[in-house]
Structure 1
Amino acid sequence: MAKTLLTTLGTTKYTETVYFFGEQRADKTCYVAKALCQLFEIDRVVLLLTEEARATHWNCLQDCLPSHVEKIARAIPEGKTEAETWEIFDVLVDSIEPNTQLLFDITHAFRSIPVLMLLGAALLRKAKNVEIQGLYYGLYRHGQAETPIIDLTPAIRLLDWLTASDKFISTGSAVELGQLLDRVQRDFYRQQKPGKGDPRPTRLQSFGQAIRDISRSLELVRPVSLQEDLRKLQRHSTEELAKEAGQFAKPLGLLLQSIQDSYSQLALPAEKAADPQAQVQKHFQLLRWYVEKRLTTQAILLAREWVVSALCLCEGLQNYRQREARQVVEHQLGSLIQRRKQPLGDPPATGESGSSLIQQEEQLQFLPPIAAHVSDVKQLADLWSCLSEYRNDVAHGQMNPDPLGGEALESFVLQKLLPSLEALFPELTRLEKDPSASW
């Protein structure tokens, strides 16, 4: 895999200096690209040049670079307009082959090129599987014999934090945040050997694993496992973690409270962990969380099971997770669908004969026992019919002759699902703020 340096030059006449990186020093040169080739064993140099910069420096640079290094010049405009800025970005991205090991040098970049290089690095990693090995800047100061090369690679890592933070805020998934924390702690011990008493990260990795476990349970709709995952997170959420984040993972410090607030609302307090009603109420809170995050598939899957759980409790079946108990309720719900078009329980119209009242009473006698727990049996039947159809459509990946559209599924979840459940089960959908849920 070729190691490529992407760099640029302006039209300035550069002064010779000795560039150094850590304990390594390069030969004296006016071009930082030459120093980077020596310090990092570069195989190919891609140089972005305006027409004027090419005329000023290209020949001299070619002569001073090591003979084994492949040299490529790419023409760019000056970036005076938005269109020219995007043209520079296109040239930058198109200049790099897939699966390349890439270093960026922004020492002599001008105008918007440093920003474009940073954004290009983020895109190349994802789109072309490019391995970004460094972003560097030669900190030249007039009159100094030696010039340090500054490692700006953490700026690229900051983009990782930005992406991971956006994913957490929009979807609730902390998988990428957990991976970043794991990498921060691993990199620290691989690159440094702290002395006795020196601060070191010891909690970031375990906290990252905890939020990854929570994300997995959320994504796969595992409300039971989620509670154990949340208890683990609570044990990790300490002042020591916050202090450690401030030292070794500053972006996490900005998100730590948000992570804890988002997840703690889904946790059952220890004293209610074995209470079936508290469990089902917390499952509804998780359902609301799915709806707020627009996680349609998870909301449909959980809502279908939640209706069964709620009716099990209404029937006095505290073991609502047992298959036998759920089958009893599911059978009764299925029988309601057959009757859902009948105007059950409606009051008689003016002048209606007494025989109509008798007929309605007879109809009510044939309703399953679960009908006694809701105020509107037809609404329950309609909701169960929708949930059954939508759940099957989602679970079977549209493998039927007349699949539902995604817009219809999303509209049902965002507009109708929660109000219907709240109307049918007011006691089990009442969410109270739990003061112990805040960590």
Structure 2
Amino acid sequence: MKAITFLGAGSYVTTKYTWGEKWCETDLFPEAVFNIFEPDVVYLLTTEKAKSAKRNGRTYCEILKEKIGERLRIVDIPEGANEGELWKIFDIFSGIVEEGDELIIDITHAFRSLPLFVFLAAYMHSAKGTRIGKVIYGAYEARDKNTNTTPIFDLTPLVDLTGWITGAEALVLRGDASMLANMLQDFHAVREEGVAEGYVLLANKLRFLSKALSLNRPTDVMSSANELKNLDLCDRMELPGPFLT
């Protein structure tokens, strides 16, 4: 598993980052990513300005190298202040990710490029077959000031949402429900056994509708559409995001 994280040039404050039962007390969030999620390698994307930022006479990169060791890879990126630099970051990001990788993407210090990296995560999942394990954010501004504990937010649904949107578009424009069906199949895997059966049933009915449309079978299309319309289990299912209304 690869972790991709960022480092800025700001002054960081020590806090206790928490993820469920796991925690790490540090002022540099990439250290928390390493200790809590235990990736095989950590890619630290940083600008020239951030690389020279220091604490007590030592650069942040030197401190992280000591904490993480040989599993740390420091990667230079531009500031992302214009379109050309954003495309450069895109190329660098693409070069890090290989086909089939599992990724943890930390966007805590992604700054103005944050939307780009959410898009990149979705792109890598689609184009390179990567598995997005987590997209995370160390929410220091949401810390408990009494205990100095800071939650780590799970932003993975932002990436998943792009998949649902693409799948819905494919169904509306081309009558292809296969992507939605596959995503439902994956979504059901994390549900309880009794509830999961409903997701499988819905996925199969979407596949049947898609096949009927592709083979131009109007009778089957109408029959399948009516079955979906009258499928009352949808009212009892926790569908992801705005999947169905």
Give the TM-score normalised by the residue count of structure 2: 0.86
Choose which of 53, 64, 67 in structure 2 pairs with 1:64.
67
- Counting only pairs closer than 5 Å after superposition, residues 312-351 of structure 1 correspond to structure 2 as none
Match of 1:248 in 2: 239
The secondary structure found in structure 2 opposite 1:111 is helix
Does residue 212 (structure 1) correspond to residue 207 (structure 2)? The answer is yes
Pairwise CA RMSD of aligned residues? 2.3
Q: Measure, in 2, the Cα distance between the counterparts of 1:214 and 1:169.
A: 12
| Alpha-carbon separation, structure 1, partners of 2:37 and 2:19 | 10
Cα distance, 1:223 vs structure 2: 4.3
Q: Which residue of 2 aligns with 1:135?
A: 135
Question: What one-letter code is carried by the residue in structure 1 that aligns with 2:82?
Answer: T
CA–CA separation in structure 1 for the residues paired with 2:219 and 2:107? 51
Q: Aligned partners of 2:172 and 2:112: how far apart in 1? A: 32
The one-letter code sitting in structure 2 at the alignment partner of 1:251 is P
Q: Please give the TM-score of this superposition, normalised by the length of structure 1.
A: 0.50
> Are the aligned partners of 2:189 and 2:196 in contact in 1 as well (CA < 8 Å)?
no
Q: 2 CA distance for matches of 1:163 and 1:108?
A: 28
SS of corresponding position for 1:15: coil
The residue identity in structure 2 corresponding to 1:249 is P
Distance 1:109 1:225 in 2: 49
SS at structure 1 position matched to 2:159: helix
Of structures 1 and 2, the one with the larger relative CO (CA 8 A, separation 6+) is 2
Q: Give 1:176 shift.
A: 1.4
**Post-superposition shift, 1:44?**
0.6
Q: Is the 8 A contact 2:105 2:136 kept in 1?
A: yes
Task: Flag structure 2 segments of 5+ consecutive residues without an equivalent.
Answer: 54-59
Quote how far apart the aligned CAs of 1:139 are: 1.0
CA distance in 1, matches of 2:89, 2:149: 32
Q: Which AA in structure 2 matches 1:92?
A: F
Contact 1:204 1:244 in 2 (8 A): no
Structure 1 portions without partners, runs of 5+? 195-199, 255-439
Aligned residues: 236
Distance 1:184 1:131 in 2: 14
- Among residues 13, 16, 33, which one is paired with 2:14 in the alignment? 16
2:45 is the alignment partner of 1:48: yes
Shift of 1:83: 1.1
Shift of 1:158: 0.4
Q: Give the deviation of 1:120 after TM superposition.
A: 1.0
Are 2:175 and 2:214, in contact at CA under 8 Å, matched by a contact in 1? no
Q: Which residue of 1 aligns with 2:56?
A: none
Is residue 201–residue 248 contact of structure 1 (8 Å, CA) maintained in 2? no
Structure 1 residues 156 and 74 mapped into 2: Cα distance closer, same or farther (>3 Å)?
same
Change (3 A) 1:234 1:115: closer
